Amino acid sequence: MEGIELVMSVILLSIETSCDETSAAVIKDGKEILSNIITSQIPIHQKFGGVVPEIASRKHIELINGVIKEALDEANLTFDDLDGVAVTYGPGLVGALLVGVSAGKAISLAQGIPLIAVNHIEGHICANFLENSTLEFPLICLVVSGGHSDLVAIYDYGKYEILGRTRDDAAGEAFDKVARALGLGYPGGPLIDKLAKEGDCTAYQLPKAYLEVDSLDFSFSGLKSAVLNLLNKANMKNEEINQADLAASFQKAVTDVLVNKTIKAVKRIGTKQIILAGGVAANQGLRNSLQKEAEKNNIEVSYPKVILCTDNAAMIGCAAYYKYIKEDFAPLSLNACPNLKLGEERY
Ligand code: KG4
Ligand code: ZN
């Protein structure tokens, strides 16, 4: 065997149940997606205008075993083929997280394989590494989801520095609240994105919070309130609002600030690559304007395909791989951590 390097592949089952998607995936060597089953609960929560945590937990319990089985079947594997099991343990809804954490622990114990605890935000970031082998550290990642808006410098797998974060609403939260006020439904981001394509983004003057000159933090609650006030005033005066124009103006106000600060972050760290992560990374307006601004500055932008931007277990399997090779395993006493921060470990 001398001179022959034996390269073992690592097969991980990953589970994601932090919010309203029940998902399980099988990932080979942190890159190759053998399966990625995503069962969305969106139709169930839609009639309430947002996620109802208790319903989400109960639905995860109903779905989890079937979703895991489907992920293994699609990958043509059994539990015996697994090298480890990875699970999102925070941040997210505590009851929802507990379903995935319990399933992961049970599989780890029954199979005698390592348990890998993954931060949901780290998962979103790692969605970029599933498809792109041209990325080089350091990178700047703009993480924009329903619960987070962070500008993160990434120095290596698992080595993060938060350069800026939202001081109030997350970008996705602002999209969802404005969409609800416009009567568009839930989740609001994709609906505003679609409507904005038909609108004039200069039609309504809306505030953009750039905050202090050096700050890379965000604030979207003022913008959200401005849209709600505008709608209330129009309603009281019986004036018509052009929904597409308002959607386009709102989206532009959000993306202008996101793009401006992301370019500033890149200049501060001195990197040439930007990656996008989280549900709002699916936004066409954001992708286009970041691409345009980055090109002017000779910076590359990349993002996962839409299905990997929103919640999915494949991204969790990718993040878990880099922990697996460092033998960073979690004990069976692992608990759900609803307020877990990026870069923090609680096990
Ligand atoms: O990452 P994600 O699936 O869940 C969290 O971790 O929060 O993000 C969900 C968020 C929701 O607020 C949704 O409205 C937003 O991502 N979103 C979008 C788009 N697709 C999803 N926001 C803007 N434009 C989109 N195309
Ligand atoms: Zn998410």
Kindly state the average pLDDT of the residues 43-65. 93
Q: Which residues surround ligand 2, an ion (CB under 5 A)?
A: 145, 311
Q: Considering every ligand atom shown, identify the ligand nearest to the alpha carbon of residue 281 and give its number.
A: 1
Q: Is the pLDDT of residue 99 over 70?
A: yes
Which ligand 1 atom lies nearest to the CA of residue 309?
A: 1
Q: In the numeric block, which tokens belong to residue 253? A: 């106000």
* pLDDT of 9 above 60: yes
> pLDDT-based confidence at 2, cuts 50/70/90?
very low
pLDDT at res. 7: 62
Predicted model pTM: 0.95
User: Which tens digits make up the pLDDT trace of 81-92?
Assistant: 999 999 999 999
Kindly report the protein residue whose alpha carbon is nearest to atom 7 of ligand 1. Answer: 146
Q: Which atom belonging to ligand 1 lies closest to the Cα atom of 121?
A: 6
Q: What's the pLDDT score for residue 42? A: 87
CA angle 125/62/15 to nearest 5° reads 25
Q: What is the pLDDT of residue 3?
A: 45
Whose CA is closest to atom 16 on ligand 1?
279
**CB neighbours of 275 closer than 8 A, spacing ≥ 6?**
125, 128, 132, 135, 139, 140, 141, 142, 154, 301, 302, 303
Say what the pLDDT of residue 266 is.
97
> Of 34-48, 53-67, 319-333, which gets the smallest average pLDDT?
34-48
Confidence of residue 1 (pLDDT cuts 50, 70, 90): very low
Q: What is the pLDDT of residue 216?
A: 97
Residue 49 vs residue 221, higher pLDDT = 221
Q: Taking residues 222-238, what's their average pLDDT? A: 97
pLDDT tens column, 104-151: 999 999 999 999 999 999 999 999 999 777 899 999 999 999 999 999
With the most atoms of ligand 1 within 8 angstroms of its CB, the residue from 45, 51, 175 to mutate is 175
Predicted pLDDT at 213: 87
* Confidence (pLDDT) at 304: 96
Average per-residue pLDDT in the chain? 95
Ligand 1 proximal residues by C-beta, below 6 Å: 19, 124, 145-147, 172, 175-176, 187-190, 193, 278-280, 282-283, 310-311
> How high is the pLDDT of residue 6?
55
pLDDT at 71: 98
208-246 as b/e: b if 16+ CB within 10 A: bbeeeeeebbbbbeebbebbeebbeeeeeeeeebebbbb
Pocket test for ligand 1, best of 280, 309, 315 (most atoms within 8 A of CB): 280
Compute and round to an integer the Cα radius of gyration of the chain: 21
